[in-house]
Chain A
């Protein structure tokens, strides 16, 4: 899927890196599931965690940035000779900024050494959490807009036809003007007036006094053509927009469409609730102490008076919940990355883009492990706390809430700006 239709990712190493990053990220999630289900011996789980973490950090901090630097440098023709040297330079710059990232954030206790896992994870965590929060905030606002058909303008076939007619008329006007220019050029060429524009100092003086009669008209026509071409591009984009809206309207009338519309309402309520909770968390300066599963069970036990085996149910429910969170976040991320890739890739930079996407994906997954800790009951949290070391987890949650809120509030503003400016 990630090797897009038109552009090949030619280098074998890029494909390998992306696959390896994805594989190890998924293994981390598997380990969480194993933790909940109690599969494998606990010490062997711990070992696998550590191993996995080391490999992922190695890839994210050393390999991928180096290869990104290498491919960017190989695209620039000037530096072709000393590819490796410049790639190392780029990597060192990256490491410098990566290290500096730790300064403004209160994420470490001072007793950690320089080259410990905690140092690296904390920084990776900051970047990843920022990414997650940005995506979630944007998603929280975009999702109701996409799913609900309430926002769809009504588009009729007549609208589309009218716009298409205008587009074709504009194209015809462009064609007729270009014909005039072509004819004029040809006559000039045949008459031997092959010069385009007088050059040099004397040429400029000459052009002031004697002007070729056709050429002023030509430049005027050329300007008209440029303006018309700009208009045709606008009309094309508008037509494409109308077609897309019409397709969405038709889709919303189908069974699937109605189902998604219904889901959309639920999602919007959920998104609004999330934004609300984020605000409350920040304003009242609290971080959730208990996870949703235990709280849910507490509520059912206390208020509804239903007695059941807390341990047994909490394990299964948290498994399902965590599973859903993992699957939806992986799916959401991959879809977003694919769209992004299609939108911005070109045949030159596809390698760099895939590596960037691998980097983003790896960081995203590492920090989701960090954050998922909050959704799990305490007995399962311990392994993550042990493995990741003593990070200030509360900071990360607070940071997530802040960025989430900012992103959720800014996205409609940016969207409106974008649509009014274009």
Chain B
């Protein structure tokens, strides 16, 4: 097999929402037997066929970096985590459908990852305010996944799904709602699997096929250049 090219996707979310189970499901198509607290970062690899079924089909490795922790941690912990946010190509935001706070924290998570300053020790520069415009211009593909769908009673399901639809719209991202202990949600051919595939395709496209001298800017640079289309080269 030819050397497969490399793509990095972060998996972010509060502690206990099910990121490790999700990553295991995405990479091994199996349910994780004994989930335990993630310390630091755990990586797993998924082999993805870009443009499956077409003549341009190519196989890529997608690295899923599952970063543990809480969004309210001390600055020193955030600085430590920031080392994993280097060179990222996509972000999967995971929230727990039974826990509203975890959905709200996604805004802070995405800002933490996207606003990473390029300073050597990874100090975060912005004050973390949520600004909708940032997400509409964002070049890094986002995907919102809600877990523990099975624990929502039927009566509340509509209300929860409406709320998450708004959430995904805020991020300008697609959303998938599932239960990480049941592989059938991501069964081949289901709408979830299609969305997932589309997301990974988008990540790969942004990484490899828009490299015509432009590069994906960090947010601090956006603010400095007043949100214009000027992009500078420091990627790769």
A157 within 8 A of B: yes
Query: Does B101 contact A232, Cβ atoms closer than 8 Å?
Result: no
Q: Smallest CB-CB separation from B67: which chain A residue?
A: A236
Query: Does B45 contact A175, Cβ atoms closer than 8 Å?
Result: yes
Give chain A nearest CB distance to B46 CB in angstroms. Answer: 8
Contacts of B16 in A (CB 8 A): 6-7, 346-347
Give chain B nearest CB distance to A335 CB in angstroms. Answer: 14
Query: Does B15 contact A6, Cβ atoms closer than 8 Å?
Result: yes
Tier of interface size on chain A: 35 or more
Cα–Cα, bound, A243→B77 (Å)? 7
Contacts of B4 in A (CB 8 A): 179, 183
Contacts of B63 in A (CB 8 A): 175
Contacts of B75 in A (CB 8 A): 247
Q: Smallest CB-CB separation from A183: which chain B residue?
A: B1
A291 within 8 A of B: no
B139 within 8 A of A: no
Query: Does A240 contact B76, Cβ atoms closer than 8 Å?
Result: yes
Give chain A nearest CB distance to B130 CB in angstroms. Answer: 16
* Contact string against B for A residues 407-422, beta-carbon threshold 8 Å, 1 for contact and 0 otherwise: 0000000000000000
Query: Does A244 contact B83, Cβ atoms closer than 8 Å?
Result: no
Give chain B nearest CB distance to A347 CB in angstroms. Answer: 5
Query: Does B47 contact A244, Cβ atoms closer than 8 Å?
Result: no
Q: Which residues 1-44 in B have Cβ within 8 Å of A in the complex?
A: 1, 4, 14-16, 27, 39-44
A5 and B47 in contact (CB under 8 A), knowing A179-B4, A236-B39?
Answer: no
Partner-binding segment picked from A23-31, A74-82, A163-171: A163-171
Q: Smallest CB-CB separation from B16: which chain A residue?
A: A347
Contacts of A243 in B (CB 8 A): 76-77, 79-80, 121
Q: Smallest CB-CB separation from B119: which chain A residue?
A: A157
Cα–Cα, bound, A321→B83 (Å)? 48
Query: Does B43 contact A174, Cβ atoms closer than 8 Å?
Result: yes
A160 within 8 A of B: yes
Q: Smallest CB-CB separation from B61: which chain A residue?
A: A179
Q: Smallest CB-CB separation from B15: which chain A residue?
A: A6
* Contact string against B for A residues 232-268, beta-carbon threshold 8 Å, 1 for contact and 0 otherwise: 1101110110011011000000000000000000000
Cα–Cα, bound, A164→B72 (Å)? 22
Query: Does B76 contact A244, Cβ atoms closer than 8 Å?
Result: yes
Cα–Cα, bound, A237→B40 (Å)? 7
Q: Which residues 119-172 in A have Cβ within 8 Å of B in the complex?
A: 157, 160-161, 164, 167-168, 171
Contacts of B42 in A (CB 8 A): 229
Cα–Cα, bound, A412→B83 (Å)? 33
Contacts of A244 in B (CB 8 A): 74, 76-77
A390 within 8 A of B: no
Contacts of A178 in B (CB 8 A): 43-45
Contacts of A237 in B (CB 8 A): 39-40
Cα–Cα, bound, A171→B16 (Å)? 23
* Contact string against A for B residues 72-104, beta-carbon threshold 8 Å, 1 for contact and 0 otherwise: 101111011001101000000000100111100
Query: Does B96 contact A347, Cβ atoms closer than 8 Å?
Result: yes
Contacts of A7 in B (CB 8 A): 16, 99, 101
Give chain A nearest CB distance to B177 CB in angstroms. Answer: 18
Give chain A nearest CB distance to B48 CB in angstroms. Answer: 11
Query: Does B1 contact A8, Cβ atoms closer than 8 Å?
Result: no
Pick the most buried of A4, A6, A246: most chain B CB atoms within 10 A of its CB. A6
A186 within 8 A of B: yes
Query: Does A167 contact B76, Cβ atoms closer than 8 Å?
Result: no
Q: Smallest CB-CB separation from A186: which chain B residue?
A: B47
A280 within 8 A of B: no
Pick the most buried of B42, B79, B80: most chain A CB atoms within 10 A of its CB. B80
Query: Does A239 contact B83, Cβ atoms closer than 8 Å?
Result: yes
Contacts of B43 in A (CB 8 A): 171, 174-175, 178
B228 within 8 A of A: no
Q: Which residues 342-366 in A have Cβ within 8 Å of B in the complex?
A: 342, 346-347
Query: Does A160 contact B121, Cβ atoms closer than 8 Å?
Result: yes
Contacts of A229 in B (CB 8 A): 42
Query: Does B101 contact A6, Cβ atoms closer than 8 Å?
Result: yes
Contacts of B39 in A (CB 8 A): 233, 236-237
Query: Does B40 contact A5, Cβ atoms closer than 8 Å?
Result: no
Give chain B nearest CB distance to A411 CB in angstroms. Answer: 22
A182 within 8 A of B: yes
Q: Smallest CB-CB separation from A164: which chain B residue?
A: B83
Cα–Cα, bound, A243→B14 (Å)? 21
Cα–Cα, bound, A243→B120 (Å)? 12
Q: Which residues 46-64 in B have Cβ within 8 Å of A in the complex?
A: 46-47, 61, 63
A5 and B105 in contact (CB under 8 A), knowing A182-B47, A246-B76?
Answer: yes
B70 within 8 A of A: yes
13 A-B pairs in the complex with CB atoms less than 8 angstroms apart: A4-B72, A5-B72, A6-B102, A175-B63, A179-B61, A182-B45, A186-B47, A187-B1, A240-B77, A243-B77, A244-B77, A246-B121, A347-B99
> Measuring CB to CB, which residues of chain B are less than 8 angstroms from any residue of chain A?
1, 4, 14-16, 27, 39-47, 61, 63, 65, 70-72, 74-77, 79-80, 83-84, 86, 96, 99-102, 105, 120-121
